Amino acid sequence: MSRAIDHAIFSDQATLDFYDTEAPDYVASGKDGVSRWLGDFIRALPEGARVLELGCGSGRDAEAMLSHGFDVHPTDGSPAMAAKAQERLGRPVKTMRFDELSDARAYDAVWASASLLHVPRAALSDVLKLVFAALKPGGLHFASYKGGGIAGRDTFGRYFNYPDQKALTDAYLASGPWEIVSAVDYIGGGYEGGQGPWIAMTTRRPIA
């Protein structure tokens, strides 16, 4: 299978183009505060944990994790967003699509706040297999998704997989023998404004 076909299956070009074009405004519009879920995630990690971040955006969550002494590896699928995060962090930020993740048993945790929600619905389990493989046994994974149940695009043309909690849990369990630590429905905002349903998913790769 060619890389061009892989790219079409695992990512949405219009969404990547949006972040490349709008990176300055997108980063400037964000609040200084980190994800509401980051504190619990940090407290669950061992000292000096090696953390992979998927879709780091402006780098604000990576910055907070670095300040706690973690070995953080931030990545983003948009070269422009990765460059903005690199400016903020003062350290390399890798440009990497989710399907390019190839590490095996390399990380104590994988953080994916508001990023895996852009994976085409049909490819989500395959991407989660790569996340599972990248974690060490006992490794922790967090991801947040916009809910709703029906995949589609927002007013900016970005693709969202918009799962409901059952569909999301099914996608995880189809990708590997995850331990589902928690799946929380909540109301949150986004770049387009307004409030809507979100799902916070915390899972763990079993030790055995």
Q: What is the per-residue pLDDT for 174?
A: 97
Q: What is the per-residue pLDDT for 194?
A: 81
Q: Is the pLDDT of residue 29 over 90?
A: no
Give the bridge partners for 54, in sequence order. Answer: 75
Question: How far apart, in whole angstroms, are the C-alpha atoms of residue 145 and residue 161?
Answer: 8
* 3-state DSSP assignment of residue 87: helix
| Over residues 200-208, mean pLDDT | 95
Question: How far apart, in whole angstroms, are the C-alpha atoms of residue 165 and residue 153?
Answer: 19
Q: Is the pLDDT of residue 3 over 70?
A: no
- For residue 28, name the pLDDT band (cuts at 50, 70, 90): low
Q: Give, as one character, the DSSP assignment of residue 5.
A: H
Least confident span in 34-38, 64-68, 172-176, 199-203: 34-38
φ/ψ (deg, to 5) at 165: -65, -40
pLDDT more than 70, % of the chain: 93
Please write the tens of the pLDDT for every residue from 101-121: 999 999 999 999 999 999 999
Q: Check: CB of residue 154 under 8 Å from CB of residue 192.
A: yes
Please give the mean pLDDT across all residues of the chain: 92
Please write the tens of the pLDDT for every residue from 143-174: 999 999 999 999 999 999 999 999 999 999 99
**Structural domains of the chain sorted by starting position, each given as residue range(s) with its CATH number in brackets:** 3-204 (3.40.50.150)
- For residue 192, name the pLDDT band (cuts at 50, 70, 90): confident
Q: What is the per-residue pLDDT for 205?
A: 98
